[in-house]
Every structure is written in C-alpha cells, then in structure tokens.
Structure 1
Amino acid sequence: MPYPNTPETSILENYIAAGLARDSGELIEQNSLPAIRQAIREEVAKAMQELYQQLSTDLQKSARRSDDRLAALIVKAARYSGIGQRMLYSLMAKTVNPDFAAKMFETAKEQTGKDIARPEEPKATEVRN
C-alpha cells in the first residue's frame, strides 16, 4: 500500500482530487491553446511585417545609392566626353584648319544623333566587346 496508516477513503479522495486536477488542467490547456496559438500567430505576423518594412527600407536605400553612383558616373562620362571633344576639335583646327574642324564636328554630331536614335547591329568589321 502506498500510504501506510491512511484510511482508504483518504486515499480515494486523493486519487479523485488528482484526477479532477489533471482533467481540469487538460481542460484549461485545451481552452487556452487556441488563444496561445492566435497570440503566437499575431506576434509572428507582426515580426514578419517589421522585417518586410526594414527590408523595403534597406532596398530603397541601396537603390538610391546605386542611382546616385550611376548619375555621378554619367556626369563624369559626359564631362570627359566634352573634354575629349574640345581637345580633338583644337587638334583638328591646328593641324588642318578651323573650317575643316567645324565641318567634322557637325558631321560627327549628326552621325551620333542618328546612332542614338536608331542603333544598328555591329558590322562584321567592327570590334565587338
């Protein structure tokens, strides 16, 4: 016998009390599980939303940095192109004559405008990168 010198009714009462407590605990657990599940879902959804927001912000910052860098490179390319154009024009004007340099400049400007408006496939004689 597990309880020496204890009346059987006390033992029975203890078993009944333990069984009721267990059943009550299971009942509370069953009733509280949906609420716990819902709370966890809400917290996970909230955390996911915060992560998505942070990711979106980080992507926007990254895109902005890339756009700024690209704009700076375009400005630099345009500046160097202008410098090269002026140097070449000066060289042509000094080596040949200013009229020839002006004519070559206008021809190059027209051809570049056409190439930008309607780029063609590279020809077999052109170097491909």
Structure 2
Amino acid sequence: MTIAQLCLLVACVLPVACAALAKSGGLGKRRRDGGFDNHNPREWLARQQGWRARAHAAQANGWEALPIFLAALFVAHQHQTVQATVDLLALGFIAARLAYIGLYLVDQAWLRSLAWLAGLAACVALFIVR
C-alpha cells in the first residue's frame, strides 16, 4: 500500500470520526433526556449546537471533499505521476483536512477556510503535476 492509498483510507475515515464526535454528547443518555436518537439521527444532529454542530458540519464537508481527492489520486495514477510526489500531496491533503476539522471544532472560521483551500490546492496539484 502506498502512502497515498493510506491517505485515501484516512480521508474515508475522517468523516466517520467527525460523526462520532458530533454524537458523543448524546451517547449513554436516554432519548427522552436528550440522548442520541438513533431512530431519527438526522433530526437529532440538526438540533445540536456549538462544537457538536460544527463536528457534524465537518463530517458533511469531509464527504464533500472526498470525491475530488479520489478523482485527483486517480488522475495522478493515470498520468503515472512520480509516486513520491503523489504521496507528498496526499499527505498535504490529509494535513489540511485535519487542520480543517480542528479549526472547525474550535470555531476559527477564517483559518478553517484557509485549511480548506490548502486541501483543495493539494487536489488541484494532483491533477496537474507529472
């Protein structure tokens, strides 16, 4: 497995981790006491506030970012881009996504947007580098 492939796996798991964070406050509580409602999880998540709501939003953005990263890796592979370059850009994408999630959780909107842009830039670079 290449580093880039491992990064793809991490990119697939990050939204799941964000979902776990978003739901963490409601686990172990009864539904009637505000605990996580697995019968209506989307409604329950929509009522969350603060960092849990932001974790849920980071989850959604993680799923939205995944297709372009996957496509970028595919194109880089099709163009037979040097693997070390692909690995480095994939690591950059993951670093940007981790920063994005952390900055989202602590409500640093401007820095979060920069981290998002860095992740997008890594994907664009994967499309064009050889």
Query: TM-score under structure 1 normalisation?
Result: 0.26
RCO comparison, higher one (Cα < 8 Å, 6+): 2
